[in-house]
């Protein structure tokens, strides 16, 4: 592939131009070159990097963690990449457990609410208005 502009890069990666610029400002992505006019030019390498960033984010990695993964990738430190992915999986498991508790509490409140009557008698509103113990 010959070099392409920011619009073509964004389109091929399925992101907006502002996203590409944001990743550049964040230091995650850099254009292959700039023309004398100031226009950015990108290669397949930048396209692959942009796709890597988006896929990592889709798996829940923060931009800071993506930066670390890119660094580990450059170092070819597969063991640390695996540990990072395992830590992310553990974090996802904790968040799922928390969400399951929220789900159960909401289901209980919804089941207790008749859906009519005075707002002062609504178990959902009562629970939301209680002081924390």
pLDDT tens-place string over residues 86-122 = 999 999 999 999 999 999 999 999 999 999 988 888 9
pTM: 0.76
Comparing 37 with 92, which gets the higher pLDDT? 92
pLDDT on residue 121: 87
pLDDT on residue 38: 78
Percent of the chain with pLDDT over 70: 98
Helices (H), the chain: 6-13, 17-25, 44-58, 63-75, 78-112, 123-129
* Rounded Cα distance, 52 and 9, in Å: 14
Which pair of structure tokens corresponds to residue 90?
Answer: 């553990």
pLDDT on residue 67: 95
pLDDT on residue 36: 80
CB atoms within 10 A of CB 46: 23
């Amino acid at each position: 592939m010959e070099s392409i502009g920011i619009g073509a890069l964004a389109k091929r990666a399925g992101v907006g131009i502002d996203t590409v610029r944001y990743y550049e400002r964040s230091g995650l992505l850099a254009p292959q070159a700039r023309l004398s006019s100031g226009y950015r030019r990108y290669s397949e390498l930048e396209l692959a990097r942009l796709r890597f960033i988006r896929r990592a984010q889709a798996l829940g990695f923060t931009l800071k963690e993506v930066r670390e993964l890119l660094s580990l990738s450059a170092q070819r430190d597969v063991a640390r990449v695996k540990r990072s992915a395992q830590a992310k999986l553990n974090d996802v498991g904790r968040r799922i457990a928390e969400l399951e508790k929220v789900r159960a509490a909401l289901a209980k409140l919804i089941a207790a609410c008749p859906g009519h009557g005075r707002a002062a008698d609504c178990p959902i509103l009562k629970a939301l208005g209680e002081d924390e113990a």
